[in-house]
Amino acid sequence: MKKILITGSAGFIGFHLSKILINDDFQVFGLDILNDYYDINLKNARLLQLGINAKEIELNKTVESNSFSNYKFIKADIANSGFIKNFMNDQKFDYVVNLAAQAGVRYSIENPHAYTYSNIEGFLNILEGCRHNQVKHLIYASTSSVYGLNETMPLCEDASTEHPISLYAATKKANEMMAHSYSHLFNLPTTGLRFFTVYGPWGRPDMALFLFTKSIIEGKPIKVFNNGKMIRDFTYVSDIVESIKKLISKPTQGDLSWTGKNPKPNKSSAPYQIFNIGNSSPTNLLDYINAIEVALNKNALIEYLPMQPGDVPMTHSSTVNLEKYINFKPATKIEQGIKDFVDWYKMYYTN
C-alpha cells in the first residue's frame, strides 16, 4: 500500500481526507498536536470516527486505529524539528499532505507568534523531512487569503499575491515561496492549494457557518460584517478532499514552457505548482444566511457591523487549471452543503 502522512489529521479538512484515503489504497498516518485553538472535544470526536481515543495518547507516541487496520495516529508538533526529522526518517512516506497550521485570519492579529511557529518553522521541518526521504509528492494547504488586496475577479493562480492583509496570509504566501525553493534546489515535487472558504460537517467552530447556526438555534443575533456586503466562494469539504485525492498521484515534473523572461508565478521549470480549490460560484453572504435559515426553519437575528481588519469584501476563484489537471470541478450547491452541515450539527449536539 502507498504510505501517506497527513498532518493536521484531527482538523476539519485533515479528518475528512484521512477518512476518504483510509477507504482507498493507502496506509495512512495522521499527525496532529491537538492544540486548544478551538474546542478540543470536537477534535477528539473526529478522531473517534477514525478509531482513535485521543484522550489516552501520549505525546510523540504512535497508536493504531481500533477501527481501521491501515490508519495510525501520532500526537506530535510539526514545529519540533528533532522529532519530525527522526519520525520521517523512520517512516519513509511516499506522499505527504501538510494541513497542519495555525489557522484564522483574525487570530493572527492577536497572536502572531503562533503563526510563525507553526506555519513557518513547522512547514520548514516538513520540507526538510520530505527532502531527505525522497517523498514523491508534497501537497500543502495555502489559502485564498494570499490574494489580499487583489480585486481582479475571478482570482486566478497567476494573479498578484504581493499584498496580503493578515499575517496568516503572509505565512501561507511564505509557504509557497519556501516550497518553490525546495522544488528548485532538491527536485522535490510540491503542490500548493489555495482553499476558498471551506465548510461542511465537522467544521471549525470559529467559521461563519458554525457560528451562525449556533446563534440562530439559540435565538441570538449573528454578526454580519461590512453591513452584509460580503461575497464568498464557499467550497464544500468533500470537493476539497476529492481534489486532493486526485492530485496525490499527479505530481508535476515542471513546466517545460516556463521561462524566467516571462515567469508564471503558479508554475515553474522546477516540479512546483499552485492550484485554487474553490466552487467558482461566489455567493452573497445574506443568501448564505438565508440557506441556513431554510435548513433550520428559523429566521436569523442580524447585527450589521463594519468590515473587520484583515478581511476582504469578495472572493471568487477560477478553477480552470485544476479542472484541466484532474478532470474534476468542485460544484456542491450551498443549499445541499448547508443542509448536510445542519443535519450533522443537530446530530452532534443532541447526542
**149, 165 Cβ separation under 8 angstroms:** yes
User: Alpha-carbon distance 160 to 169, whole Å?
Assistant: 13
Q: What's the DSSP call for residue 57?
A: P
C-alpha 252, offset from chain centre: 20
What's the longest Cα–Cα distance across the chain?
A: 60
Residue 325 bears catalytic tag: no
Distance CA 249, CA 247 (A): 6
Residue with cell 505548482: 273
| CA torsion angle 73 76 81 85 (round to 10) | -20
Amino acid identity for residue 310 in this structure: G
> Exactly one of 115, 168, 288, 345 is catalytic; which is it?
168
Q: How many CB atoms lie within 10 A of CB 240?
A: 25
Q: Which helix (H) or strand (E) holds 208?
A: helix 208-218
Cβ atoms of 136 and 237 within 8 Å: the answer is: no
* Cell of residue 262, nine digits: 516571462
Which residues are catalytic, by number?
168
